[in-house]
Amino acid sequence: MPDFIRVEVGKFPGSVHQIGLNGGRTVRDALNAANIALEPGYVIYVNDQRADLATELGEGDQVILTQKITGN
């Protein structure tokens, strides 16, 4: 396992940023490194799959926060 990985992190709407992680590799670590807060009403996706703050990341993963959509 490489010591350093690159992942993309973003909040929709907004932009996506590439960051490097050396050490912790969870969604929480990536959000902290990108200075992005998980606000109430938002959900996490990693590579288009629902995830949580403890989800482990690998090289090239994409973390996106988006507002939860509710229907009728």
Q: For residue 68, what pLDDT band results from cuts at 50, 70 and 90? A: confident
**pLDDT tens figures, 2-38:** 578 999 999 988 889 999 999 889 999 999 999 999 9
* Cβ-contact 65, 44 below 8 angstroms: yes
What are the tens digits of pLDDT across the range 46-67?
999 999 999 999 999 999 999 9
- Write down the CATH number for the domain with range 4-67: 3.10.20.30
Sorted by sequence, the CB contacts under 8 Å of residue 15 that are 6+ apart come out as none
* Domain residue extents for the chain: 4-67
User: Can you give the pTM of this predicted structure?
Assistant: 0.88
DSSP bridge partners of 10: 16, 64
